Amino acid sequence: MRYALLLVLTGLVSAQITTPDEVFEKLYRDKVPLGQWADAPPEEVDVELCDLDPLFKRYLELRAAYRKAPNQDKPLLTPSLNELMDSIIAVVRSLPAAGPAAWDFFAPYAREDMFVLGRGTLWVKLDQLRTTYVQTGLAHAHGKEDLEALLEDLSDRELLEGALEVQRVLAKLEEVRQAGSRRRARKNACAVRTKVSDYLAELGSSSAKELGDLVSWMERKAWVADAARTRMDQVVAALGLRERYSQPLRARLDAIDKRAYTDDKLEELQASYDKKLSKETLAIVKTLARLARDCEKVDEHGLASVLHELVLVLDDSNQHSRQALGFEQVAEQWLRPHAARMAEQGFVWSCYGWAEQSQLLRLDAGEVCDAGTWKKVAAADKEHSTLASPWMLSSDAFALTSTAGIELSAELLVRLDAFLLLLQRQLDGLFQWQQSTPKGPDRPFAVRLYKDAKQRAKVLPDARGPALLDADNVLHLCLQDGAIPHRALQRQLTQQILAETLETAPAPWLTEGAAMYLEPAVFFAGRMSLGSARRNPRIIAHAQTVGAGSPALALDQLVTLSSQERWQAGDTAAQEEAAAASFAFLMVMDSGRYRADLIAMLGDPTLRAEEAFGLTGDSLAVLARRYFQGLAAH
């Protein structure tokens, strides 16, 4: 019983006690001293602080007698001094408040009396007094506040060894608290993610009736417009409608024998269609919005933003979701902040970047306004194809300098913004969120696009590969065969964003794993999508290696590569494959159970895997191996 609580706090016993409240409840209930005692635990003794006063008075009498006594008689007083000090220590052991009082009493005399009374006696007794003072305070601490007060007392009295002991106990309690907090957060987030997943899976079949009713109305009207067909395809994709339901709907749309209508009637039908679509999906929109709020409550902001985007597919003018995603309304348009500022100045986004509304007709004719002069696009591109005079474009988060064509550069800028939103959704715990809107960077991410590798070599002679970061965290990208190398771009872009976002660099396996996990993202209809793990060749290669029983770098081995030196000293190709696969496993396993813990490790390099996930390295490795074996089998 004597050491039970100490063992609990060092993690050796009692796995049932997992919170500070439980620790202190046990401390109070069992009266267990928190520390190692020289002899038996303290007994309940009826002692008051005033009991020290006669003992202090007796010490002063003995001290005076010791000083006056002849040298040959001084040893005769030693037993009395030992007995007196033992009595003082007994009071301190029984009464926490006696420790500071006793130590404060002896402090003025200690240095002098060490030599006058003899080190052999008083040194040992004062050391016992110090130890008893600390251990009594620990034993009677019933909460974190008590421990912090004890730490302050010890620090004020320069009892540094005791202060360090209390700090160790507080640190261990903080570990217990954080582990419990992570476990609760993991449980709550997993429950919400599962609820969302179940609902979206249900929509894959349940929404067929609502959409079928809408198609029946279109059949009765003998009407289907291209815009309506496109909108229907978007809704089918957003709701994840299963193929056995979506194919008959498309076949029915194709079979509609369209009736001839006047332009006014066509506009009326289109308006009716939009209204009916909103009505048929109203219940779905309300459920998605409610689930988004549930996600925000458990800090699943990335998933909440996905749900809000689904809402906008069904209800493009939904004000709540627009605002939750950070859009601002300018006139009748919903725009992101940078676009809203530009719109207020009379600019709109075109395939050539920002342009005034009045310039659109000339842009459509293949001209561009460059420094106040209208030129053919090809001529303007040629002028800006040199390092001395590049195109310069900007967005909410990026500053792009480019010697490639203006149209390709504008396309890249849109993709950069879309990728940042994808990364923020996937790694949401690294960013500050306002509802479903992540806080933007303090300064724009700098990207330089070169028309070819030869031109980039003039700036970076030793550059290898199509994309790389320099020492100033500027991303340098060169075209390959006239096209943007998207995968290489997205890998380095992840590294750039993490370097700018995180105060301290995480372990290499984490940053490399994140970069290669996001590397294969695809861009469609203005939005980046990650897709399944099967789209990532590194993950599939690792799964096949594990599935075949061949040697592969296991997760518990991977987490030991905590420095660049260790990372670079190993088999980089094998490590990259394992990092990509392990990162994906921790992101998606069991409906993302450990996703938030993985992101926490990215944000806090001091957090060990065992602390973050609440599992040993061996357990993680076993779970990962089973996941990859299942992936390889299918």
Residue 110 has pLDDT above 70, yes or no: no
Q: What is the pLDDT of residues 74-107, one digit of tens each?
A: 778 778 878 888 888 888 887 777 888 887 787 7
Q: What's the pLDDT at 455?
A: 93
Positive or negative, the CA dihedral 462, 463, 469, 473 is: positive
Q: How far apart are CA 427 and CA 425, in angstroms?
A: 6
Residue 177 has pLDDT above 80, yes or no: no
Q: What's the pLDDT at 238?
A: 79
Q: How confident is the model at residue 121 (pLDDT cuts 50, 70, 90)?
A: low
Residue 2 has pLDDT above 80, yes or no: no
Q: How far apart are CA 163 and CA 151, in angstroms?
A: 5
Residue with tokens 């130890």: 131
- Which two tokens mark 271? 């308006």
CA distances from 81 to 39, 65, 107, 307, 370 (A): 21, 11, 17, 77, 96
What are residue 469's phi and psi, to 5 degrees?
-105, 140
Q: What is the pLDDT of residues 540-552, one digit of tens each?
A: 888 888 888 888 8
Q: How far apart are CA 210 and CA 208, in angstroms?
A: 6
The neighbour count for residue 399, using CB atoms within 10 Å, is 16
Q: How far apart are the first and last CA of the chain?
A: 53
Q: What's the pLDDT at 179?
A: 66
Average pLDDT, the chain: 82
Q: What is the pLDDT of residues 124-148, one digit of tens each?
A: 777 888 888 888 888 777 777 788 8
Beta carbons of 587 and 290 less than 8 angstroms apart: no
Nearest to 553 by CA among 607, 486, 463, 625: 625
Beta carbons of 473 and 499 less than 8 angstroms apart: yes
- Which two tokens mark 624? 């990962």
Positive or negative, the CA dihedral 607, 609, 614, 617 is: negative
Nearest to 612 by CA among 173, 297, 15, 175: 175
Ordered DSSP codes for 313-342? HH-TT-HHHHHHTT-EEETTEEE-HHHHHH
Residue with tokens 């976002």: 501
Q: What is the pLDDT of residues 272-324, one digit of tens each?
A: 988 888 888 888 999 999 999 999 998 889 999 989 988 988 888 889 999 98
Q: What's the pLDDT at 113?
A: 60
- pLDDT mean over 384-396: 92
Residue 409 has pLDDT above 90, yes or no: yes
Using alpha carbons only, what angle is made at residue 629 by residues 624 and 630, rounded to the nearest 5 degrees? 100
Torsion of CA 540, 545, 551, 553, to 10 degrees: 10
- Using DSSP's 3-state secondary structure scheme, residue 583 falls into helix
Of the chain, the percentage scoring pLDDT greater than 90 comes to 24
pTM for this entry: 0.70
What does the longest C-alpha to C-alpha distance in the chain come to?
129
Q: How confident is the model at residue 160 (pLDDT cuts 50, 70, 90)?
A: confident
Q: How far apart are CA 480 and CA 461, in angstroms?
A: 17
Residue with tokens 């031109």: 455
Torsion of CA 228, 233, 239, 245, to 10 degrees: 110
Positive or negative, the CA dihedral 419, 424, 425, 427 is: positive
Residue with tokens 């009765």: 220
- Which two tokens mark 8? 């609990």
Positive or negative, the CA dihedral 510, 513, 519, 520 is: negative
Q: What is the pLDDT of residues 440-451, one digit of tens each?
A: 788 899 999 999
Q: What is the pLDDT of residues 563-621, one digit of tens each?
A: 888 888 888 888 999 999 999 999 988 778 888 889 988 998 888 888 888 888 888 88
Q: How far apart are CA 390 and CA 395, in angstroms?
A: 17
Beta carbons of 366 and 359 less than 8 angstroms apart: no
